[in-house]
Structure 1
């Protein structure tokens, strides 16, 4: 629409503005008409390619040429150039320079008509020249509206980018959680099963079938425990609620540590995420105790405080030979990651005093 209006103003000027020729005043009118047309066509230049200083220079020259055309021409629509140029002044320039230049346009055009400068026609009221700068106000409003729309679009795009980044972070967090669960279920269970099968294989050479059956039974027990752990993992992925106290008791009994749990405080239901992570920490600690301190006494302390839930697992030194093997190193890292997600803290280290000296202890404190 702006392009059509610009061409219409130029066409109307060529059709109506007189005199128009190749000599004398007609030549001056023709030159000023070309300059005004070029200044008006410059509104199509993209703002990113035209600096404010260059725009101010070009529009100032256009204002001077428009006022001169009004004075030199004797008839026609020369004043339209001033009106349309003033509107573009408000749109292209910042508010303060736009108002100054628009006021200058009004004073020049009004002065040319009021003081009868030049040989131009005098039928046009001087007040018309004085209001040529008014369209700058509409240009300022349009510029403000356009900037508001661009700011809204930019804010929407920024929000969309933030949402995509948050979604990617959530996906990575969920992948890390699944990786920890897979490690807990597969690495621990398979390590225990492999240990019992290796023991059974070694016992075959001794001919002690009773101990072979015992190792085989333990392997079967570990398989059953693995199925339970897989069920816990499915519950975690579905965010189902598990009873913390009952699940922890069942875990200890299946691992051969009956009556190892001590509960302090009033037992209560805790969020599913807290339950799941505490169970995983207990599982990690019990697996490490079985691997690095076989035969050692194990004690588990579950404390329900007013503002936190604390799980402590302590094992004594090994009473049987420790099988050679190196852990993946992911266990303690997984514990810390789990507790950090719940804004808690975990400590792990050797027991340096008391009846369990030489053993290992883990304590996780989760607020809420």
Structure 2
């Protein structure tokens, strides 16, 4: 069974320090300890003799109370008892247990020594536990062997030597407890790491969506707004022909925005899109037929690489339509063993360019997108060849 305690991301998990972790360990029910301790005390009260208000009976009664207190103190939480205090308490408990064995004439006085020795192994570190358990065995054996008190004549001194044996059980329980707490801490740390990774993924996805929204809406809405403001100004001057021309351009921008929105929906989907087919369809929808050329062996890259290349191509085609209307556009894909290169080049405009400055965020979005994929992007004017005077965007992405 996997145990996971919900932990806030800002909470730190303490290391599994012995005796300092207040968290409960699965499988250890404190009620069981209470039940065993009360059972030993109850059996001792019924069997240990003599017990009274004077002489030997008073000594037995006092030692019985001390042993009962030392045994019941096992239920105290570890983080509430300092190690030195625990050592002193258990040492006195052993002395009281050996004294009770020597003073009582009959009964189960030896049970206190067994249970306290077992708890020594659970509560103390291994070295101290073994030393104290050996002292418990030697002390109880000496009391019985040398008859240091009335004692029970039927108890052999070898029984006293075995009183320290339960320390082994206590050490094993302590080792298991530490292993369980270490596993819990590791699980909590792993859970927080997974939560942090998921948060990072969410923030990255938000950034990607923000870039996609900008690519689709910012340029188009700015152009539409400019044309509508122009039409409004022309209406005030009474120039209906030019106002109608401005609204026609606004309608054209709306249609273009709808096409771009369709491609954005595809790009935001988690399904993998075929790179070459999608790029060809995108170029044709922008009015550039047979514009895509391929160099190298075509392969399908990872989904995020495909989405990045398509969004860069979309931005480049949009900018070409805006700043070089009527100019021929060429889209090139080059596949090598290490990378994929996308090149979008347009010739100078052959029709009038609608005035208006861009926001400059398109190229920034391209660079951010390519940087997330570990690639590079360059953009600038074409200075030679038949496309001289045009513009080129080139993105190189590993994959």
TM above 0.5: yes
Structure 1 residue aligned with 2:114: 83
> Whole-Å Cα distance in 2 between the matches of residues 212 and 302 of structure 1?
42
For residue 152 of structure 2, give the secondary structure of its aligned residue in structure 1: coil
Work out whether 1:40 is the aligned partner of 2:71. yes
Structure 1 residue aligned with 2:210: 179
Structure 2 residue aligned with 1:310: 341
Say whether the 8 Å CA contact 1:291–1:323 is kept in structure 2.
no
The 5 A counterparts of 1:159-308 are 159-197=190-228, 209=241, 218-255=249-286, 261-291=292-322, 299-308=330-339
Structure 1 residue aligned with 2:132: 101
Match of 2:47 among 16, 28, 35: 16
Q: 1:333 to 1:58 in 2, by over 3 A?
A: farther
Higher RCO, Cα 8 Å, sep 6+: 2
Q: 1:288 to 1:111 in 2, by over 3 A?
A: same
Say whether the 8 Å CA contact 2:101–2:143 is kept in structure 1.
yes
For residue 284 of structure 1, give the secondary structure of its aligned residue in structure 2: helix
> Whole-Å Cα distance in 2 between the matches of residues 202 and 302 of structure 1?
45
Displacement, 1:152? 3.2
Q: TM-score, normalised by structure 2?
A: 0.78
1:298-348 CA distance string (max 9 Å, x none): 554321223321112345778866734451x5423422332234x331233
Q: TM-score, normalised by structure 1?
A: 0.83
Which runs of 5 or more residues in structure 2 are unaligned?
1-31
Aligned residues: 365
Q: 1:131 to 1:145 in 2, by over 3 A?
A: same
Match of 1:115 among 146, 151, 154: 146
Displacement, 1:244? 3.1
Which runs of 5 or more residues in structure 1 are unaligned?
none
Say whether the 8 Å CA contact 1:292–1:318 is kept in structure 2.
yes
Structure 2 residue aligned with 1:5: 36
> Whole-Å Cα distance in 2 between the matches of residues 113 and 136 of structure 1?
20
Work out whether 1:73 is the aligned partner of 2:104. yes
Structure 2 residue aligned with 1:346: 376
Displacement, 1:112? 1.0
Match of 1:151 among 182, 202, 224: 182
> Whole-Å Cα distance in 1 between the matches of residues 285 and 250 of structure 2?
12
Structure 2 residue aligned with 1:336: 367
Say whether the 8 Å CA contact 2:228–2:250 is kept in structure 1.
yes
